[in-house]
Amino acid sequence: MTPLLNVDTARSNILAGLHELPAETISLAECLNRVIADDIVSPLDLPPFDNSAMDGYAIRHEDSEGASQEQPVTLTVSLDIRAGAASAGQLEPGSAARIMTGAPIPAGCSAVIPVEDTDDDWQKGEASPLPPELRIGKTLRYGENIRRAGENIASGATIMQAGTSLGPAEIGMLAGIGCAKVNVVRQPKVVILSSGDELVDVHQALEPGQIRDTNSYTLAALVRQSGGLPIRLPIAKDNLDAIRALYRRALEINPDMIISTAGVSVGAADLVKVVMDELGDIDFWRINMRPGKPLAYGTLQGLPFFGLPGNPVSTMVTYEVLVRPALEKLAGRESKPRAIKAAIAEDLTSDGRRSYNRVTLTRHKDGVVARSTGIQSSGALMSMVLADGLAIIPEGRTRVSAGEELSVLPLRDFD
């Protein structure tokens, strides 16, 4: 019998044949969670001019020397500078300019004093007449409360590198440099296939011997979570013509990846293998992992194809371990190591394959503790509902004692 394929080898083989998808240009408003395809260089300084960090008064810092609440310094108010002003004018020695947050600093100014450190009553409102004089009760340093041009970003600086996923802060930064259109990696289109006489869709009533198709909905959510665009096709019956038609319909969509579940084991009704052999170049693997040993991978008319096992937990685990990294590579997302270390709260057993046990995770002062969710059957989807992560029992281990540390693949945030 052919030896079981190592999980890491399987993943490396898959990734070696995949390449990032080409870029498309979209509006900035549509960019949340998208991946930029090119480095982004700022065409300007941010801020583009020296401006006030406070509502207050622009002064020459040397004019405040020795000022205190007990011995204030009196200055002549000569200017009123609003945010959005085109020119700030000139500040003469011994004078001050009322200034709003974000307004340009006038020539000659070297500090801004907050209004609360003066005798002005800011509650009068911006439209109030300028006071002829101002008393200040604080000594200021050079540059205090002034935001300098380019202190955030200098013109010509690379502010984001290709592969960056755009969150709210990144989108705000792009708006600040006037980037209205962005080149992003195209989102992978992923067709999801299900087949089986026993399967019915979620809206249908169950007849004796039938079950609802959970895998296609689970996979669609996982694909969307990974940055892809899932396309679910109707369930095909277990006959060669129906399955052949299903796969041909998937190819007509011209997706970037095709994923099917079930039909890759040794059952008499596993007709999926027949159609895959007709339409593509498929390897059938037996992988040294639990759950999820049977898996097919290859290409259908040049498109990446995964044939995942049909048990719900096996589907999810093989997706996390093998499909997610592949989809992230197509989407231009960097696959960073996600595993953490956790102490196991109770004894765990395995059959010697690399095992992915569903666990809850809790943070303690000494680290993270993992507890089994209970039943580890590959059909027990509730174990994934309860799980915060997958505790990885290495190959060759049949028992892990309570208190030992294992690597855990987090599935979500946990306390």
Residue 243 maps to which CATH number?
3.40.980.10
What is the pLDDT at residue 174? 97
Indicate if 297 and 201 belong to the same structural domain.
yes
What is the pLDDT at residue 405? 97
What is the pLDDT at residue 273? 82
Is 352 within the bounds of a domain?
A: yes
Indicate if 14 and 117 belong to the same structural domain.
no
Indicate if 130 and 156 belong to the same structural domain.
no
Structural domain span for residue 301: 7-20+187-330
Q: Is 39 helix (H, G, I), strand (E, B) or coil?
A: coil
Cβ pair 355, 249 in contact under 8 A: no
Is 36 within the bounds of a domain?
A: yes
Mutual angle of helices 272-279 and 240-252, in 10-degree steps: 40
Q: Locate all alpha helices (DSSP H) within 253-289, ordered by sequence.
A: 272-279
Is 370 within the bounds of a domain?
A: yes
**Could you tell me if residue 154 is left (phi over 0), alpha (psi between -120 and 50 degrees) or otherwise beta?**
beta
Indicate if 171 and 214 belong to the same structural domain.
no
Tell me the pTM: 0.87
C-alpha–C-alpha distance, residues 95 and 87, integer Å: 17
What is the pLDDT at residue 3? 84
Indicate if 80 and 15 belong to the same structural domain.
no
Question: Which CATH number fits the domain that encloses residue 398?
Answer: 2.40.340.10
C-alpha–C-alpha distance, residues 88 and 363, integer Å: 55
Indicate if 204 and 314 belong to the same structural domain.
yes
What is the pLDDT at residue 269? 52
Is 415 within the bounds of a domain?
A: no
Cβ pair 163, 37 in contact under 8 A: no
Cβ pair 61, 113 in contact under 8 A: no
Indicate if 251 and 231 belong to the same structural domain.
yes
C-alpha–C-alpha distance, residues 371 and 343, integer Å: 9
What is the pLDDT at residue 265? 60
Indicate if 278 and 346 belong to the same structural domain.
no
Cβ pair 116, 123 in contact under 8 A: no
Q: What is the sign, positive or negative, of the torsion defined by CA atoms of 325, 326, 327, 332? A: positive
What is the pLDDT at residue 270? 67
Cβ-count burial of 43 within 10 angstroms (0-12 exposed, 13-18 middle, 19+ buried)?
exposed
Averaged in consecutive runs of 10 residues, what is the pLDDT profile of the chain (415 residues)? Answer: 87 94 98 96 96 96 94 94 83 95 95 93 67 94 97 96 96 97 98 92 92 95 96 93 95 97 63 86 91 92 94 96 96 86 96 96 94 92 96 96 96 89
Among 164, 183, 143, smallest CA distance to 51 is for 143
Indicate if 166 and 132 belong to the same structural domain.
no
Indicate if 77 and 162 belong to the same structural domain.
no
Is 2 within the bounds of a domain?
A: no
Is 172 within the bounds of a domain?
A: yes
Is 194 within the bounds of a domain?
A: yes
Is 34 within the bounds of a domain?
A: yes
C-alpha–C-alpha distance, residues 100 and 291, integer Å: 63
Count how many domains the chain has.
Answer: 4
